[in-house]
Structure 1
Amino acid sequence: MAELHELSAVALRDELRQGKVSAAEAAAHFLQRIEQKNPLLGAFITVTVDQAMEHARSADSRRSRTPAGELPLLHGMPLAFKDLTDVEGVPTTHGSAALDHKPALSDAPLVALLRKAGAISLGKTQVPEFGLTAYSENRIAPPSRNPHGPSRSSGGSSGGSAAAVAAGLLPFAPGSDGGGSVRIPAAACGLVGLKPGRGLVPAGESLGDPARLVVAGPIARTSADAALMMDALVPGSSPALSTPAARSLPASTRAAPGGVARGEGAYLEALEQDPPRLRIGVTLDSPWSSTFPFSPEQEALDALQAGIGLLEHAGHALGEASMRYDNRYPDAFTTAWTAAVGTARISPHREALLAPLTRTFRRRAQQRSPAKLAESLAFLRQFQHDTVAQFAQWDLMLMPALAQTPRPVGWFTGLHGGERWPAAHWPGDADGDYRKQCEYAPWSSMINVCGLPAITLPVHWTGGTPGLGLPMGIQLVGPAGSEALLLQVANQLGY
């Protein structure tokens, strides 16, 4: 019989709802996994053993007096939240040594939503400071490491969550994505990562977001597990499938006129059918190329070719898509992305505790005029309009998930091996750090600016065999409302 951490999230959900496994048993099992594996991986900053077991026992008590058909969707399911998201009674560190780590007074909307769905939080996962970077390393806890190669990063900013799911410390996890923060770590850790479109689910972040970049989405081992979490994140909704080809699907997989709900489980139910034949545009173009010229590594190109082969074998029509991007994008995005850190409440005498990249971008944000931010936001709105119009020539867009293999821990900052050096000794090349990140993940932030759904799939491994070597993935981008379609394609390809 498979151990609990070997079950898919859907299978574990079924065991819990049927009473074959209690919520307390599931919580205890995963907490034991965390105790065993986390010292090497650094996936968790805080583990809330007592709170988790109390909530699990309460879930079991409710189950004893509730018919199985009336249990919440995620009854007893263990998960964890990024340490950017408030969980009542648990400190939110934001990955920063410059903040007081006081227990949160209430749950963030994302936490409240998943608690209502029956989930049990086991703790808070590792993040970069204020979620700013594509790697999950900070000054308050050991770096988050990649389960497929512990010398490598698990990505960011949902790096701790991705490491936990890939290592079987959690069945799945919610992440938040403002510039790739679900898709980058999912790709680095060999997982399925879905960034929903703008406004579909709450972000769960407590810092400002003037460009409306951030959205919460699932990090999971399979498309079915991701669909299960989507059903909890968008309760009672009917998934929309908005490409022309998708509109030909049976009505059971599309939103009814006016958005009439079909009831619980719509995303998971959508996987019972294959998607229609789609026209998919393939591109390597990136809006970062003008500022940071880059060449994708061969492993990234191999992943793209693997994705092309899988999609063609499934019957889809693929063609080269040439995209044109305004070269003002990097400056405008960086201005919007870093605006919130400029207004974060940090005592002046503690600013020296910030990481060099955070401190640099905070200073620059504070020196910018409100007019500069407004100009950048206006540009990004036009960029969204222009890019969505180009993408609309195809049903989906395809590109590599990452331009490079998962980077070594400490590679971005110069802290080789991820040592926890004293603050005064941290390397200070913030611009070099940022450039490396943009070259590592050059196809992610523009999707947030456009507010579109996107999914990453682990189609290639550097060792040539799944589970051996390091994972490399593809990213599929769809039009507004195509989350279910992206999940269907992922499921069709065997993920």
Structure 2
Amino acid sequence: MPELHDLSAIEQLAALRRREISPVQVVGHYLTRISRLDGRVGAFVEITADAAMASAEHLTRSGPDGALWGLPFADKDLVPRAGVPTRFGSRLHRDFVPDATADAAAVLDEAGAISLGKTATPEFGLTGYTETLIGPPTRDPWNPENGAGGSSGGAAAAVAAGLLPLAPASDGGGSIRIPAATVGVVGIKPSRGRVPYASGLDSPGGLPVAGPIARTVSDAALLLDVQTGGRAYPYATGAPGGGPFLDAANRPAPFAHIGVTTVSPWDDADDIELDADAARAVEVAAALLSDAGHGVDAFGWRPRGYAEMFTTIWRTSAARMALTDAELQLVEPITAWLIQEGRALSGAQVLEALAAASVFERATITAFAPYDAVLTPALALPPQPVGWFDREDAARNFSQQVRYAPYSSFVNVAGLPALVLPVTVDDSGHPVSVQLIGRPGGEATLIALAAGLEKQAGRMPRPAIWDL
């Protein structure tokens, strides 16, 4: 007899709507798992059990209403929720309790989902690993010696460990895809402008957007439909109704021309080495896509000059935080370094980097245009031990992040959609993922391709913690 967490989010939703289970039962099940198991994972920084049960009881009485009615989720700790501590992964906000709820949370509330608390994130979401000064590190459910990636590390680890059926997340340079690939679940970074309340259009370089993390492509598509359908703003490509992404996951993908590359824009600036298992995953995915009847070709792509442009924009984004000298002493060394480096930039340097980003965006879209999707590794290296990222030498830390995930940030700069999913396993049985990158607004094509690839690859194993 399967446990509730053995069911996909869509299967749980169907059972809820048939009244075979109630929101109270589902929320109770996940709260029990979190209380028993999260000490091993560190996915949560705040658990709002009483509020969650009150919401579940209200929804049970009122009946099915909303695309996510009765399904649990948790807010990333960068998303304010009224009355709930929101720490942004930082000692500076240890006691901050907002009095208003952000749209990223309200959209899911309005869809009938129930927040169980806050998932862990690194300080201000600035790094690709989730280890902070305010709590325990977030660990890979497959191997607790390793980290879970970041910055949506808590969200990805919670889903991978069966502590949540799905989770909202955000991605400014890989923050959905890095942890999803690290722990072997599905993550989608939408196109710039696709998610109305988190379009990326209000930040330097247009980098950060919101998106879903889930165990299956269909579950991720379900959540993406909700994220793109709420809070319509006139400048967002997702307004007013979003895309029928779950429909795309449920129908066969039409013929697609797919380019394959293991080149990253960091190759001419850092010592990028591709792990053998990551390379094999690309080969496996390419073969499966070819077997499905798609056209698959090697893609010759040699971008240049990316590193200086991106690091300038990333430092510029950090420098927007108006921290005092005293506050800089309380933040992580990597945070302080990014802010100080950003403040040292001239206006001309910032404008040149933003102009270079626009040139890179156009050049990348043009280079990718012959293909319906481009297949790359998701990560260059396997999951790394907790503490592997240097917490004192900030410049070395940044280089380590680049070497771990060199295929992520350029997608944000180009404003393209991307999806990561596991397609094979390494010798230890840990899932290994690939990345599919689409055309602007091409989420539905990516989802259809990924859903087919998911079926061909077969069901991935689950970590041992799953059955505890």
- Scaled by the length of structure 1, what TM-score is found? 0.87
Q: 2:251 aligns with which of 265, 273, 278?
A: 273
Aligned partners of 1:391 and 1:259: how far apart in 2?
A: 22
Matched ranges for 1:4-19 at <5 A:
4-19=4-19
Paired AA for residue 449 in structure 1? V
Aligned partners of 1:273 and 1:120: how far apart in 2?
A: 29
Q: 2:355 aligns with which of 370, 378, 389?
A: 378
For 2:416, the equivalent position in structure 1 comes to 452
Paired AA for residue 144 in structure 1? T
Q: State yes or no: 1:334 paired with 2:298.
A: no
Q: State yes or no: 1:438 paired with 2:402.
A: yes
1:352 and 1:180, CA in 2 relative to 1: closer, same or farther beyond 3 A? same
CA positional deviation for 1:446: 0.5
Q: State yes or no: 1:401 paired with 2:378.
A: yes
Paired AA for residue 281 in structure 1? G
Instruction: Spell out, residue by residue over 1:261-291, the C-alpha distance to the aligned partner (whole angstroms, 9 max, x if none).
Output: 8x79922122332111111111111111111
For 2:441, the equivalent position in structure 1 comes to 481
Paired AA for residue 129 in structure 2? Y
Instruction: Spell out, residue by residue over 1:158-200, the C-alpha distance to the aligned partner (whole angstroms, 9 max, x if none).
Output: 0110000000000010110111111111111111111110111
For 1:309, the equivalent position in structure 2 comes to 287
Is contact 1:84-1:205 (8 Å) kept?
Answer: no
Paired AA for residue 47 in structure 2? V
Paired AA for residue 313 in structure 1? D
Is contact 2:258-2:373 (8 Å) kept?
Answer: yes
Is contact 2:181-2:433 (8 Å) kept?
Answer: yes
For 1:77, the equivalent position in structure 2 comes to 71
1:198 alignment partner, SS class: coil
Aligned partners of 2:133 and 2:50: how far apart in 1?
A: 26
Paired AA for residue 136 in structure 1? T
Q: State yes or no: 1:320 paired with 2:298.
A: yes
Q: 1:105 aligns with which of 99, 103, 113?
A: 99
For 1:248, the equivalent position in structure 2 comes to none
Aligned partners of 1:264 and 1:4: how far apart in 2?
A: 29
2:419 alignment partner, SS class: strand
Is contact 2:156-2:179 (8 Å) kept?
Answer: yes
Paired AA for residue 410 in structure 2? M
Q: State yes or no: 1:45 paired with 2:52.
A: no
Q: State yes or no: 1:363 paired with 2:340.
A: yes
For 1:295, the equivalent position in structure 2 comes to 273
Paired AA for residue 388 in structure 2? W
Paired AA for residue 335 in structure 1? T
Is contact 1:85-1:205 (8 Å) kept?
Answer: no
Aligned partners of 2:422 and 2:239: how far apart in 1?
A: 34
Aligned partners of 2:74 and 2:238: how far apart in 1?
A: 31
1:472 alignment partner, SS class: strand
1:129 and 1:430, CA in 2 relative to 1: closer, same or farther beyond 3 A? same
CA positional deviation for 1:31: 0.8
Aligned partners of 1:396 and 1:222: how far apart in 2?
A: 19
Q: Could you say what the CA RMSD is over the residues aligned between the two structures, in angstroms?
A: 2.1
Deviates more, 1:117-126 or 1:339-348: 339-348
Aligned partners of 1:397 and 1:199: how far apart in 2?
A: 20
Identity across aligned pairs (percent)? Answer: 43
2:46 alignment partner, SS class: strand
Unaligned segments of structure 1, at least 5 residues: 238-257, 414-426
Is contact 1:110-1:202 (8 Å) kept?
Answer: no
CA positional deviation for 1:19: 1.8
For 2:26, the equivalent position in structure 1 comes to 26
Q: State yes or no: 1:123 paired with 2:123.
A: no
CA positional deviation for 1:340: 2.9
Aligned partners of 1:86 and 1:259: how far apart in 2?
A: 22
For 1:35, the equivalent position in structure 2 comes to 35
Aligned partners of 1:284 and 1:264: how far apart in 2?
A: 32
For 1:418, the equivalent position in structure 2 comes to none
Deviates more, 1:11-20 or 1:138-147: 11-20
Is contact 2:24-2:53 (8 Å) kept?
Answer: yes
Is contact 2:259-2:373 (8 Å) kept?
Answer: yes
Paired AA for residue 441 in structure 1? A
1:284 alignment partner, SS class: coil
2:454 alignment partner, SS class: coil
Q: State yes or no: 1:219 paired with 2:197.
A: no
Matched ranges for 1:57-206 at <5 A:
57-63=57-63, 68=64, 71-202=65-196
- Scaled by the length of structure 2, what TM-score is found? 0.92
Paired AA for residue 350 in structure 1? E
Aligned partners of 1:341 and 1:295: how far apart in 2?
A: 28
Unaligned segments of structure 2, at least 5 residues: 232-236, 456-468
Instruction: Spell out, residue by residue over 1:326-368, the C-alpha distance to the aligned partner (whole angstroms, 9 max, x if none).
Output: 22x2121112123232222434323212111111111111121
Paired AA for residue 252 in structure 2? D
1:259 and 1:400, CA in 2 relative to 1: closer, same or farther beyond 3 A? closer
Instruction: Spell out, residue by residue over 1:218-258, the C-alpha distance to the aligned partner (whole angstroms, 9 max, x if none).
Output: 11111110111112112289xxxxxxxxxxxxxxxxxxxx9
- How many correspondences in the alignment? 450
CA positional deviation for 1:207: 13
Aligned partners of 2:141 and 2:436: how far apart in 1?
A: 24
For 1:392, the equivalent position in structure 2 comes to 369
1:265 and 1:330, CA in 2 relative to 1: closer, same or farther beyond 3 A? closer
For 1:419, the equivalent position in structure 2 comes to none
Is contact 1:99-1:346 (8 Å) kept?
Answer: no
Paired AA for residue 148 in structure 2? S
CA positional deviation for 1:85: 1.1
For 1:423, the equivalent position in structure 2 comes to none
